[in-house]
Amino acid sequence: MHKINIKTSRNHEKRQIENMEKSENKIKKFLKDQKMKFFALTISGKISFIFLRVSILSIIIFAMELIVALAVPSWSILDMPLIFDRVDSFMDFFNVGGFVSQMNPYNHPHYSSYPPLALLFSKLFSFFIPYNEHPMIVRDTVLGGFGYGCFIVISVTVLLVLFKIYCNRNNINLKTYILYSIIILSSFPFLFMFIRGNNIIISLIFTVVFMLFYNSESKVKREIALISLAIASALKLYPIIFIVVLFRKKMFWGILRTAVYAVILFFIPFIFFNGGFNNIPLFFENLSSFSKTNLIYHNESFFLITKGFIAAFDLLGWPIVIVEIIEIIFKIIFVVAAAIGFLYAKKSWHLSAVCFLCLTLFPYPSNTYVFIFSVIPLFQFLNDKDKTKKDYFFLIVFLITLMPIQLGFINQRLSPPFWFATNCVLIMISNITMFIVLVVMSFKNMIEKFKNKKLFDIFDLEEDIASIESNIES
pLDDT of residue 258: 94
Per-residue pLDDT, 306: 67
Element (H, E) at 324: helix 320-344
Instruction: Estimate to the nearest angstrom the gap between the alpha carbon of 68 and the chain centroid.
Output: 31
How many angstroms separate the CA atoms of 178 and 163, rounded? 10
Least confident of 91-105, 252-266, 294-308, 387-401: 294-308
Using the predicted structure, report yes or no on whether residue 76 has a pLDDT greater than 60.
no
- Per DSSP, the three-state class of 104 is coil
> Of 55-59, 112-116, 163-167, where does the model show the most confidence?
163-167
The β-bridge relationship of strands 420-421 and 409-410 is antiparallel
pLDDT score recorded for residue 290: 72
What average pLDDT does the segment 92-118 reach?
78
pLDDT bracket for residue 209 (50, 70, 90)? very high
Q: What is the largest CA-CA distance in the chain?
A: 110
Please determine, for residue 420, whether its predicted confidence score (pLDDT) is greater than 60.
no
DSSP string, 249-290: TT-HHHHHHHHHHHHHHHHGGGGGSTTGGGHHHHHHHHHHHH
Give the integer Cα–Cα distance in Å for 298 and 259. 31
| Mean local confidence (pLDDT), 209-231 | 92
Residue 147 burial (CB < 10 Å; 0-12/13-18/19+)? buried
If one compares 332 and 127, the residue with the highest pLDDT of the two is 332
Q: For residues 450 and 470, give the distance between their C-alpha atoms in angstroms, rounded to a whole number.
A: 35
User: Would you say residue 301 has pLDDT above 50?
Assistant: yes
What string of DSSP letters covers 176-201?
HHHHHHHHHHTSHHHHHHHHHT-THH
Confidence of residue 85 (pLDDT cuts 50, 70, 90): low
State the number of CA atoms in the 13 A half-sphere of 211 facing the CB: 35
In the beta sheet, which residues pair with residue 299?
367
Spatial contact of 239 and 359, defined as CB atoms under 8 Å apart: yes
pLDDT of residue 22: 63
Residue 153 predicted with pLDDT over 70: yes
Q: pLDDT band for position 57 (50/70/90)?
A: low
| Distance from C-alpha of 225 to C-alpha of 242, rounded to nearest angstrom | 12
Residues 6+ positions from 9 with CB-CB distance below 8 Å: none
Beta-bridge partner residues of 410: 420
**Separation CA 65–CA 89 (nearest Å):** 12
CB atoms under 10 Å from CB of 316, counted, come to 8
Residues 13-22 have pLDDT tens digits of 666 666 666 6
Q: Which of 27-36, 313-322, 440-449 has the lowest mean pLDDT?
A: 27-36
In this prediction, residues 178-200 reach a mean pLDDT of: 83
The larger pLDDT score, comparing residue 196 to residue 15, is at: 196
Neighbours of 127 (CB within 10 A): 11
Residue 72 pLDDT exceeds 80: no
- pLDDT band at residue 472 under the 50/70/90 scheme: very low
Q: Decide: helix, strand or coil at residue 367.
A: strand
Cβ-contact 150, 125 below 8 angstroms: yes
Cα–Cα distance measured from residue 391 to residue 375, given in angstroms and rounded to the nearest whole number: 17
Q: DSSP 3-state assignment of 347?
A: strand
Cis-peptide, bond into residue 365, ω within 30° of zero: yes
Provide the pLDDT confidence category of residue 228 given band limits of 50, 70 and 90: very high
Average pLDDT, the chain: 75
* Residues 6 or more apart whose Cβ sits within 8 Å of residue 237: 115
What is the per-residue pLDDT for 303?
66
- Residue 11 is predicted with a pLDDT of 60
Pick from 76-85, 363-372, 440-449 the range whose average pLDDT is largest: 440-449
Q: Which residue has the higher pLDDT, 125 or 111?
A: 125
Q: Average pLDDT for residues 378-391, to the nearest whole number?
A: 79
Dist CA 23 CA 20 (whole Å): 5
Task: Count the residues in the chain.
Answer: 474
pTM score: 0.78
- The three-class DSSP label of residue 84 is coil
361-374 pLDDT tens trace: 877 767 778 888 98
| pLDDT score at 42 | 47
For 395, other C-beta atoms within 10 Å of its C-beta total: 18
The predicted structure's pLDDT at residue 467: 44
Q: What is the mean pLDDT of residues 79-101?
A: 69
Report the distance separating Cα 254 and Cα 225, nearest Å: 10
pLDDT tens-digit readout, 230-266: 999 999 888 999 999 999 888 899 999 999 999 999 9
In whole angstroms, what is the distance from residue 265 CA to residue 117 CA? 7
Look at residue 29 in the predicted model and tell me its pLDDT.
56
Crossing angle (nearest 10°) for helices 302-315 and 422-451: 100
